[in-house]
Structures are given as C-alpha cells and as structure tokens.
Structure 1
C-alpha cells in the first residue's frame, strides 16, 4: 500500500533497518544541485532505494489557534540547536492500552524517557489499587515468563508504589500535564510521539533569533513536525544519498520481495570496530569521505584500503597554556618524537599541591598569596615564602570545643640556609608557583608515566618528521592521556603509508570487498598532531578520571558568643528624650543593594548604645523587687545585641544582610523605659513603707 515518504519515515522502527522501498510517484526538482547542499531531490517513478538510516535534520513549526484546532496559519523551520525553552502541552487524545503508549512514546533510562500518564478509571493490579487520576510513571520494559510488562511507579503523597502493568492491559490513558521546560533537541529526541502531533508553547528565548518571524508565535500554541534526513543507497550508485523526508513522494515497502545484497552495503568505521578480531585484515573501498578532514589527505573516495586491525591507541590531550578563551587544543599520539622541558605550574590551593606530589620527587613552591592561620597547629603563609612539600597527613585540631581531623601537608619552610618543619592545611585558598630545578628533556610517554597531570611543558626539540606546530607555542599544558579506539589502515597501492584512524572522530563510509586482504605487515603509523575544536575538546574531557575528590572544606572558625562586652566600650551618656524618628521602612522595603552602608551601621550603633545605657542605669538600682522586669530587660537586651552585631559586621563583605526595622528598635526602647520607670516607682514605694 502506497504512502507518503514522510509518513513512512515517521512510522519506521530504526531496529528494522535496512528497508527497501520503491518510488510510486516520482519528483524532479528543477534547480541546481548545488543549491540543495548534497541532498537528493530527483527520484524517478519505479526506482528502488535501500534506506540504511535516518535522523532529524530540522523542525517545522506550525502555529495553530488551539490544541484541538489544526487550522495552521504560518510555518517556520527551526534548527535543532534553537536557543530557547518550550513547555510541552498534554496530548488530548487518549491511548487505548499500555502497548499503544509504548509504540508511540519513547521510553528509556534517561530522566526524559519516563512519561507520566493517568487513567480515567480505577485500576486493580494484584494487591495494588490505582485510583482514577493518579500519576503513573512508565519506567522500563520487562519480560516475565514470556509476557511483556511495563515497570511503573504510582506517585502518591505518602509513599510511591511500584507496579508492573502488562502491555496488553486495556483502558483509557491520558498524558499528564508537564510543568518542565525542554530544549528543542530534548523534545525531538524524547517527546515526539509517532503518528501524533506534539503541541508546545514557547516559554523563553535565550538569544535573539529572527524576532520578526517568531513574534506572531509567542502568544499561540506551536505544533512541531520533524523533518528527517534519510540516508539511502541506490542500485546504480556507490555513494550514500541524502533525501529529505518532506519530499512530495509516495513509496511502498518492498523489503520482503527484494534482494538486499544487490545493493552497496556501506559501513561506518564504528561498525567495523565492532567486528571480531578474526575478521581482520580485510579489504575495503572508501565510498564517502568528507573533504574537511584534511589531516588524512591521502584517503579519498574510491581508494581501496587495507584495514589491518583494531586497537586502542594512547593519545594525550594537550592545551595551550593561556588564560583566555582562544587557546588551542591538540591530540598528540604516542609516536610523537618531539622532546619537552618542564615549565612552572601554578597551584591555587594546598589541595592542588597534594595532588601534584604523587610523583616520585618533592615539590618546591613559592607562595604568591598571604594566608593567616586561625589554629596554632598550622603555619601562616606570607608572600614570597618558599616550601618543600613532602607528604599529606591528618592532624587533630580543636574547633568550638570539639576535636576535628584536618588534612594537612607536611612541608619544610626555607629560612635562608635553615629549614623549619611546618604544616599547611589543604583548605588554604592561597596561590603557589613551582620552582623548576630539572633541566632534563622528556618524551610524551615519560611525562604521562612519571608525573601527575596536568603538567606544564615547552617543546625543546621539535619532531622533524612532521610539520610540528607545537614548537611555536611558549607553553603547553599536558592534561590527560586517553585510550582512543582506532583502526590501523594503509593504502593498497602504497603500503608504506599507514594511519591510525580514530573511529569516533572520522566520518567515513566504506564497503567491505569480497576479495580477502593479503597478509601484508603494517608499517609504523604516520604521526599526526591533530588540532581539535572546543566542542570535541570538552566532549573528550568529560570522560576524565572521576577518582579525584573536590577540595576539603575548611573547619568552622571558633566564635565566642555575642554579649554586651563584645561591642565597643562606651561611656554612659544622658539619654535623649525625644530622638528623631526615621521614616517607617520594613525589611522588605529597604533597598537591598546597599547592605554595607557605613552611615546606616553607625546609626544602628548609636541606637544600640541608647538601649544598653538604659539597662546600665537600671542595673545601678540596688533594690530590684520586680525580678520579672529584670529578666525582661535582659531578654530584650539579648534580642537587641543579637540583632545588631556591630563588631562582626564587615564593610567589605558582599553577603546580602537584611536591614533592621527601626520601629522594632523604638519598641524595645519604649519597653525598657517603661520597665525602668516601673522599677523606680516600686523602689520609691518600698522606701516610703520602710
């Protein structure tokens, strides 16, 4: 049965590839092939095509009046990396069974692959009862005794329930409302249902993106339609053709009546790497090879190559030692013949020193930042102090009355011709620069083997076998050694030219030939220093060793409780009877961008002194029959002194302190004056009675 190409791809299960289709009604694009950017747009009626893959190329956005109204007004195409966030609207059409959901929605171990649904009727599964409207999270597929189930979680306020629903379970299931925001790439990968439209709402745009085109869409719902790029092979062509899925073409699936082996069977380098070792060596022809990968300029489409073996090659990630964002990144193979000399390293903390002393030699550093120790067990640091770092050890320090274990480095402080043994805690936020005494020259393998990375070097002897662009750089940072999956490849007509081809970074399509490869010994691979872009650099660096722990947090400094003696002393002064009242400002009404205003702090200090002075006068009364009043005074004084810690306020601190409501200070003052007046009145009455 014929169907549109777009519908065929939308329903196609990637696990059933390859599929053979026949064009029922062709199309011819009347234009230059250079305008189509390598995409195939001329398909004749009756032509046979083998589909070997497909991927989402872009997204067609259609504006609609509502979720159920599909009268579209305009269409805009957006790339997958569109800088914005979208809110996914729930699909109003129900699903008839759990199986229907799994056929339409992608379910996986990723957090995005756990869709939420609810049922419009109660569900009883074994001893678990699911009420109507409760959220059911679909987690993963499972098979028990030959029957397939869906592992689910029922979201409840008290405790979530785990339940297993059979795929054959029938009911009426609706998609739950989703309050999360997603990028266009995330929606296309996880949230696009098959044979259904996904309606979203644009929540936020992170950058300017043709605002004239999107202004009319901001207030309406958007329907997303993916446009696929199909990779296919034709009978009379060896190269892979790329066909957009939105061509006006009707096709029919003829896989069952076709011989797939009559087509060219292109393979990627990753596909070849998955083959067993017994398949190598093998002979292959390059079908497709991008021109931008010029570092392997001998490899071109149509060349016949011998693939000798697969292996993991040791490669080192190296970056230009600069502080700006324009620094270059390189991949250096183990066969690099250049030599390096050491360059001084910089260590922002003592913890970084601990990581660096794992090599066999001791570390000599100079401090470039001052540090004052709060504990007598540890040494303070001044700018210019020199240390010989030996090893890490644990120390017991007293902190707020408790004994705590703190990691510290055992060092020797250079004092002229003498040495003083000191301890430096690993949490010091100082700065140290390495002193180099080593004049040796090292190759790349020795550095990765004998020293802790990262490691600063400079090329002292360039590799004369290549155009060594590393020698022109003043300083390099050797960051990490990785195992790169590679294929050892040589040209059939030039066996001496041999390459290590990284399968994850080189896009090449080849066809394995039926003729067996001759057992020709491979020569030494050609040394290639590869400069990589930032995207590839960060993609490789994310696989860094995860055994390193973050720097330790410093122990809390002991702080004495705040009392009236911790405030600066003052002489008793006559209290002003009617101090001027400031305008009423609540803490939320005060401006929060001036927390360090010195005038405001001095004003608060003066008010605090007035309060404390009132209590001082009261305490001079020798006879206090009303003990509750005295307790009230003390409580109010504590509240005032805790609220206004003048001595501990740091004018250079950037913390967001709250201002104190001056009305509260005024209420405290009135309460103290009232208590003082009552106490004097009681004392006078007592004397008269005596």
Structure 2
C-alpha cells in the first residue's frame, strides 16, 4: 500500500487479509475528543498523532450498513440470515466497452451480468429490439480483430439464442437487476460483491440502496506498550502504511502458549513476563495457577510432549476430585474391583477387556414374560460375549423379539452330601457347575468385579497392560513429592490417557520446583524478556517436578466430549405389556421363594421355610384356660425382703401360695405327646403349662 497515502482505518483494514500480516501503521489524525482517549473492552486505549501500531491479526465481527439517501448507519452481525440483492447502477453507458471498463468489479470475476439497450440494435443479419435483455456470458479476445462479448438472448415462447456483440457498438445501455440472492457472509467474502450496492429482499426493513462495509476486530501491539490491543476497525482514525520504513522498530511480541511451543529449542530456558493472565473460570485448581498474575515473571525451562493420565476419585460424601497425572509419577498402584450399575456397563467393560467375572450385589427378580433371569446376592457370573437372542419381552401374543444380550455363565457351588464321600476324589477338579443365562443389555442390576490380582504397578505399566477406565488405589506414595494428593483415597478411577504438549515452568523465587503447563487447556499471553536466569551460568539447580495437577470437573467433561462424542446410548427396554401384570405378580412371588431356596441351598440348619410354617401352618391351638381363682378378696400381705428364703438360694422357684393350683394340672415336659398330624418333628409346649408359667411370672413381678 502507498507509503505516504493516508487512508481511514476502516478502509485500510478492509483491504487486508491475515496472509499479508503483520503490518505497521502510523496514526495521522483522529476525530475523538479528550486527546483521542477512549474506553474499549475495559482497557484505556490512546492513539496520538505519530503513534506506531503493529497489526497482528484481524477478525470479522459485523457489517456496517450505510443508507445512501440519508447517510444513516447501522450494524448487522455477520451471522445475519437475511438475503440481499445487487442494486444496478443508474448511470447509462454509451458503448459496450465503456460499460465493461467502468463497472465497479471486474467482468471475468463477476459473470454473468445482464444489460439492456434503449434503442434497436442490428448485427449483420440479426436485429435486436429495444429493451431486450442480454446476459453477458464471456469475452472473446481475438488477435488482429475487434474483441466481442458473447451474450445470451431469451426469446418468446421459450426460444433463446446467442449473439456476439462488438465492444465498439454504440447506444444507450443500462445494467439490469439480477434475481440472484446473497448472504452477508457471501458478500464479505468476495471483493467484487463488496464494492456493489445492495438492497434488502424484505422491503419493510429498508428499501433504500445500502453500502456494506466489514467491521473487523483488530489485534495489535504498540511500540511503547506490552499488552495486546483489541479495537474495532470502525474507529475514525487515518493511518499510513509504514511497514517497509519501520522494519527495525522493536515491538514487544506477545505470544500465546501455543506460539511459545513453536519457538526454537535454543530459546529455553528463559524468563518470560505474563502480559495477560488466564481466564477467571479456569480448568485447573492447582496451587500455581493463582500466582499467574499480570506483569509477574516465570521461568520456562523447556517444551515437550508428556504422556498424562486423567484420574478421578469416586463419588462419596466428600466432593469428587480430579487429577491430571504425569506418567513420571513414582507411586505404586494396586487394582481395585470396579462397580457396574447395569448390564450395559458390563457390555462396555467386556468390549474393552475380555475375561470379565463379576459378583451380583443386589437381588433381581425373575420376570419370565420379559425374559429377565433371576439373580441373587453373591452369584458369580462369568461374562462371555454379546449375542442376539430371542426373548418374549412382555408380548401379549407370546411373540419373541430379537435383542442384544450378554451371554454369561453363573458359577454355582455343588451341594455337599455326606453320602458321597466315595465320589469326592473323582470330583476334586470340579469345584463348581456352570449355568448358562442371558442378560438383556437394558436390564438393571448391581455388580462388582472379581479380581485376584495383588501386584503393585507403576502408572506407565497400568496403561500398557490394561484397558481404561480402571479402578486402582495408591499403596505407596511418590517420595519425590512434598505432599502426594493421591494417597488416602480408598479408590481412584483412571478415566483415560492423553499425550499433551507441555511447557515445564517454575517461579523465580523457587526455580528448582517445576510444574508442567498443558498448553492446550490454558489461555495465557507472555513475552520473552532479557532478564538473567536466577542461577549461575551453566549451573542449574537439581529440579523437582510436580507430577500431579488437580483439575476441575469441567476438564473431565471436555475430555470426554473430545473422546466419546459418538458413543451410542444404552438400549431402551421394550414396552411392558400391562395385561400381564397379574401374572407378573405371581411370577415375582414364585421367584422370591426360588431365590430364597437358592440362597440357602448350602445351609444345613433348620430351613427358614419350616420356621415360617411353625408359626403360620401349625394346627389351631385350644383356647387359653380361665385365670385361676383368688382365695379371698383381700390383697396378699407384703413379705419382708430383708433375707432371702433358703429355697431361693438353691435356684428352685417355690410354688406361689396365692394362686390356687390343682394337682391334676401339673404336667411335666416329658409327658407332652407329639402331634402326629403335624408336618414337623419337634416338640410343642402345652398351652396349659405355658399359661401357668406366665401366671407365675406375673406374680413374681407383682411381688
């Protein structure tokens, strides 16, 4: 661009693109009051005559629309969905060549376009009437002959023809209105369209021709400032392009963390200054983040790529915590059994790692109408594979549906039999029998993984030998850390692994205490300084690296969004048939008795069912005898309690003298005959004797 030609900032920025940046501009004049000081985005910006501004980037924000008739201006966002059409120029042209040369855009880059002649035109043996529209298709360049334009003519009743018109043809020509429609983004992306006038298709908003101008957000730096400036290109400031003249002017170059990674290795270690701190809502909760303040210094030791593991604590009464752990972590882990809350979670775990064995932790009732098997607490399942099976799924017509289900083997212990002592030697290798069952993927349940691995693992070994996610526990801390935040959790879950570009950094007051900054997850603007390093030349201290960084739950959500965005949801269960509700109740009762029997099949004590029958199914007892008669109406005298009777010291209770007893009612426990009609073979206490014992107890209490 011209070296001494002053242009409005809006016009100059509109002529740029990011490929030709950076550009150095010099401020010539402005129309702002108070010394051209104004507030933009919360920071005070001042442009004075002679200031040098280095433009490092531009971003299209909106479009300024100027009404030609009233000079009124308004802005529309670039995402505006309204459509526009080109307004043809009113100026007539005397020749075809003049019309092509004075068009605001080049013909080749904006074809086709349509024009009309106000007078009749004759070309050799072809005559064209006045007002007939011609659409220019191309320009035919001919050596040694006059150039022509190839035009398309639409005739009556669908007839059409092509005609070639010499550029020297004279007449009165006008550009016709085109029916083509454009969006704001399409207009701004084409330099040809950007120079034309447009009109809204919706005439109720604005029927007048409009001049559309892009409004950019300009990112720039100044020679006397360290911070990054952001201002709109619509500022009424005139500028001059002095890029070629001011190449040797020193500008503070702000760099993002991603741009720091592109610096050569020879640039490290170095002292950098923070120009813009991180956002208030950061993804990190570590102790070094609050010290990232504006104008503070950091030491960048080196850049690189670090394998990292994302670990979370399990939900409990305490708040759930999340950690980003480097694979250089020196602690030891031991595997912990995982918990699954549905069959679908078992399916996902099986797809990641085969040979899965779980224990049922919640009873599940059998529902035959829906093909759901019954599970009891303590059942061990060997998950084999996922298959398509035919299940009734609650259909009233008895029809079966083909659904996905997990094929499992239920491991059942064999019942011990005292009479099978001779066969024990033959069955030494058969500790359990296996029952094949199918669990639909939509079935609910609670399971715990069965593992027998007690080996201690390093973090890098866990990632190599097992699929993630994986539940672990820290059994030995990292001795290199002052405080290991992973110690003390009963269970930790390794959510996933990532390969992160990082910068190893530290603070000048503790240069040996280093930490890693994941550059893709933190927004920070810094600049390299010429300050010396805080240690003698070529004698760096012994570095200690923090390998554990606490992050927020938002970090976990963003990580899952990047890795599992296309994960399919679990299948829905089929609709339950309401007409089979009665049969479902009967089935549930039947299943509960089966589950109880299965649960206590190895217990050789008195069965729970027989204990229930003792109270519910025994024969009707005889009515209780009437209370014994009292000898007289006077209350019994109070016996002194100073000395114990000699009989009481022997442990034998004396007969109550205040209760009338008949000798015929005295019965010993050995004289009670067993009820031969009863289903049980144990003794029943006689009701009369029970009543007598109760009465004796009441009198002792009364005494």
TM-score, with normalisation over the residues of structure 1? 0.52
Partner of 1:281: 268
1:502-541 matches, within 5 Å, as 502-512=518-528, 520=540, 523-532=543-552, 534=554, 536-541=555-560
Shift of 1:354: 5.1
1:480 to 2:480 alignment: no
Are the aligned partners of 2:352 and 2:467 in contact in 1 as well (CA < 8 Å)? yes
Q: Secondary structure at the match of 2:86?
A: coil
Mind listing any 5+ residue stretches in structure 2 that lack a counterpart? 89-104, 112-133, 141-150, 154-174, 393-397, 416-431, 581-703
Are the aligned partners of 1:371 and 1:380 in contact in 2 as well (CA < 8 Å)? yes
Q: Secondary structure at the match of 2:559?
A: helix
Shift of 1:14: 0.8
1:271 to 2:275 alignment: no
User: For residues 436-480 of structure 1, what are the alpha-carbon distances to aligned partners after superposition, in whole Å with 9 as ceiling and x for unaligned?
Assistant: 666967765555444433345677888794677777988764322
Are the aligned partners of 2:275 and 2:527 in contact in 1 as well (CA < 8 Å)? no
Are the aligned partners of 2:347 and 2:441 in contact in 1 as well (CA < 8 Å)? no
Change (3 A) 1:381 1:132: farther
Shift of 1:364: 1.1
Shift of 1:499: 2.4
User: For residues 29-60 of structure 1, what are the alpha-carbon distances to aligned partners after superposition, in whole Å with 9 as ceiling and x for unaligned?
Assistant: 6599996444342100111111112335x657
Shift of 1:255: 1.1
User: For residues 404-444 of structure 1, what are the alpha-carbon distances to aligned partners after superposition, in whole Å with 9 as ceiling and x for unaligned?
Assistant: 99774443344686442425367454434225666967765
1:212-611 matches, within 5 Å, as 228-259=216-247, 262-275=250-263, 279=266, 281-290=268-277, 292=280, 295-297=288-290, 306-319=299-312, 321=314, 330-335=323-328, 342=336, 344-350=338-344, 352-353=346-347, 355-356=349-350, 358-359=352-353, 362-366=356-360, 380-382=373-375, 384=377, 386-392=379-385, 408-414=406-412, 418-424=432-438, 427-435=441-449, 445=460, 447-456=462-471, 465=481, 477-491=493-507, 494-512=510-528, 520=540, 523-532=543-552, 534=554, 536-544=555-563, 550=568
Distance 1:188 1:499 in 2: 44
Distance 2:360 2:201 in 1: 57
Distance 2:15 2:313 in 1: 48
Shift of 1:73: 7.3
Distance 1:190 1:407 in 2: 56
Are the aligned partners of 1:188 and 1:226 in contact in 2 as well (CA < 8 Å)? no
Distance 2:205 2:407 in 1: 61
Shift of 1:306: 4.8
Residues paired across the two proteins, number: 468
Are the aligned partners of 1:39 and 1:243 in contact in 2 as well (CA < 8 Å)? no
Are the aligned partners of 1:304 and 1:491 in contact in 2 as well (CA < 8 Å)? yes
Change (3 A) 1:260 1:321: farther
Shift of 1:250: 1.5
* Root-mean-square deviation (Å): 6.0
1:130-279 matches, within 5 Å, as 177=181, 195=194, 228-259=216-247, 262-275=250-263, 279=266
Distance 2:56 2:355 in 1: 56
Change (3 A) 1:379 1:219: farther
Alignment counterpart, residue 16 of structure 1, candidates 16, 20, 23? 20
Change (3 A) 1:552 1:370: same
Shift of 1:269: 2.0
Distance 2:207 2:489 in 1: 53
User: For residues 83-139 of structure 1, what are the alpha-carbon distances to aligned partners after superposition, in whole Å with 9 as ceiling and x for unaligned?
Assistant: xx85341443687567579xxxxxxxxxxxxxxxxx9666899xxxxx999xxxxxx
Distance 2:31 2:484 in 1: 51
Are the aligned partners of 1:388 and 1:411 in contact in 2 as well (CA < 8 Å)? yes
Mind listing any 5+ residue stretches in structure 1 that lack a counterpart? 102-118, 126-130, 134-170, 180-186, 203-215, 558-594, 599-645, 648-690
